[in-house]
Copies of this chain bind each other. A is one copy, B any other.
Amino acid sequence: MATKKTAQTSTKKTAKKTSRTKSTVAGDADSLTRKRDQETITKIKGMGAHVVSRSLALEEPFVDIPLRTVSNTRFNKKKRILQMGDNTQRRDLFNLGQARKFMQTILLADGCKDLIEADKTLSLRGMYYKSLHTIAGTKERTFDDQAESDPILEDLEVSLGALREELHVFAKEAGKMVGNVTIIDNGDEIDCRHMGSGGYAIPSIVEPRVIQFGKCEAKFVLHVEKGTVWSRFNEDKFWKTHNCILTEGGGQPPRGVRRLLRRLHDELGLPVYCLLDCDPWGHYIYSVIKQGSINLAFESRRMAVPDAKFIGLRADDYQRCDLSDDVKIDLNDRDITRAKQIANYPWFKDKKPWQQEIKKMLSNGFKMEVESLITKDISYVTEIYTPQRIREADFLD
């Protein structure tokens, strides 16, 4: 480390230049941040102003909340993402069944405004505690538990048209990244080419106000399902030999990972290849990355990666890779029901290769995990399977 210090001292001029460049980047991000935060605050104030003006006019205050239901979700064929429809539900203050939720909505909106103004972030649980109190003169608590505040925060997202991240609230975090890219995270330059065996932990909030991209040589992103598979690829330095970025999402990728994949695709123009298990869960993860989740369709426009490709595993790998019977895991009834549901998703329905894939899995009667390729060789997946798929552009779309 001492030598490193000397290096810094002996190149003062350059160092100064570097820091100037860095601070310009940081400055741009800062002003972008302030602008977005200001926009979000304006939206929150707008909601409040509407309530106030109705009240002053002696009219009943309300907020309109877009409906987050399956029936109000549609697949936009042109954009190839799930979108929320136009149906809303009115939340009145002077309605016994709605007054509590109305109060909670305004309370959490106010909490988000506090957060943004303090330039801090909180978890969903943190927001619950922040807005939790007993209403003066009563025994009534603002929230019974977090299960009551979480959906209201989602309501706020959709009614304000602001992502949860823009409200400074974060959800579960999971996932790691390494590869030929530099990330600027809160002003820190993180060289993902030198992250050892551990990797860079992908944060929950990866909006441009926090994360910017530096130099990137990578030609694509390889996203794998689990940390165990990710470790195999990282240990074999796959991202180095194949010049890519390697990510994982701890099963179903949380919002941070999905949003990062989308930004890597949009802003750096990188194709996103997904290596997932050959089972309904793997197919569903792919569907969520590609088209968005039914549950949170309103976020698709900034989370989904409609161009994402599915590398595998695929049902015919059993024959194609000459796998042994030992890799078979019987499909249970739930798997079969799930597989049929997924085959009926509007975005899979018209795709022959996906219909064939799911049909083949069902006729096989078994599922397979990426890890099962270890029965061929420890590094079969990194040295043979994945390179071949990529070389031959042999994907499901």
Q: 1/0 per residue A184-217: CB within 8 Å of B? A: 1111111000111111111111000011001100
* Central interface residue in A21, A118, A188, by most chain B CB within 10 Å: A188
Q: How many copies of this chain does one complex carry?
A: 2
Give bound CA distance, A172 to B230, whole Å: 12
Of A30-38, A43-51, A76-84, A322-330, the segment with at least 4 beta carbons within 8 Å of chain B is: A322-330
Give bound CA distance, A214 to B114, whole Å: 40
B371 engages A235 (CB within 8 Å): no
A-side binding surface: helix, strand, loop or mixed? mixed
B379 engages A125 (CB within 8 Å): no
B374 engages A122 (CB within 8 Å): yes
Give bound CA distance, A378 to B119, whole Å: 11
Give bound CA distance, A371 to B131, whole Å: 12
Given A186-B197, A201-B176, A202-B198, decide whether A228 and B134 contact each other with a Cβ distance below 8 A: no
A232 engages B126 (CB within 8 Å): yes
A198 engages B190 (CB within 8 Å): yes
Taking CB atoms and an 8 Å cut-off, the chain A residues in 1-15 that contact chain B are 1, 3-4, 6-8, 10-11, 14-15
Given A129-B371, A185-B197, A379-B120, decide whether A7 and B14 contact each other with a Cβ distance below 8 A: yes
Total residues of chain A contacting the partner, CB 8 A: 74
Name 14 interchain pairs, CB-CB below 8 A, sorted by A. Answer: A1-B214, A1-B215, A10-B10, A120-B379, A126-B228, A126-B232, A170-B228, A172-B227, A176-B201, A183-B198, A185-B196, A188-B196, A196-B203, A200-B201
User: Min CB distance, A182 to chain B, in Å?
Assistant: 7
Q: Determine if A173 is an interface residue (Cβ-Cβ < 8 Å).
A: yes
B183 engages A196 (CB within 8 Å): yes
Q: Determine if A90 is an interface residue (Cβ-Cβ < 8 Å).
A: no
Q: Determine if A53 is an interface residue (Cβ-Cβ < 8 Å).
A: no
Taking CB atoms and an 8 Å cut-off, the chain A residues in 62-81 that contact chain B are none
Given A3-B21, A4-B18, A133-B375, decide whether A197 and B210 contact each other with a Cβ distance below 8 A: yes
Taking CB atoms and an 8 Å cut-off, the chain A residues in 222-236 that contact chain B are 227-228, 231-232, 235-236
* Central interface residue in A6, A7, A132, A204, by most chain B CB within 10 Å: A7
Taking CB atoms and an 8 Å cut-off, the chain A residues in 339-379 that contact chain B are 369, 371-372, 374-375, 378-379
A228 engages B7 (CB within 8 Å): no
Taking CB atoms and an 8 Å cut-off, the chain A residues in 103-152 that contact chain B are 114-115, 118, 120-123, 125-126, 129-130, 132-134, 141
User: Min CB distance, A226 to chain B, in Å?
Assistant: 8
A130 engages B375 (CB within 8 Å): yes
User: Min CB distance, A132 to chain B, in Å?
Assistant: 5
Q: Determine if A389 is an interface residue (Cβ-Cβ < 8 Å).
A: no
Q: Determine if A54 is an interface residue (Cβ-Cβ < 8 Å).
A: no
Taking CB atoms and an 8 Å cut-off, the chain A residues in 269-295 that contact chain B are none
B201 engages A133 (CB within 8 Å): no
Give bound CA distance, A134 to B130, whole Å: 57
Across-interface contacts of A198 in B (CB, < 8 A):
183, 185, 190, 200-203
B134 engages A326 (CB within 8 Å): yes
A3 engages B14 (CB within 8 Å): yes
Given A14-B3, A190-B198, A198-B200, decide whether A378 and B183 contact each other with a Cβ distance below 8 A: no
A231 engages B170 (CB within 8 Å): yes
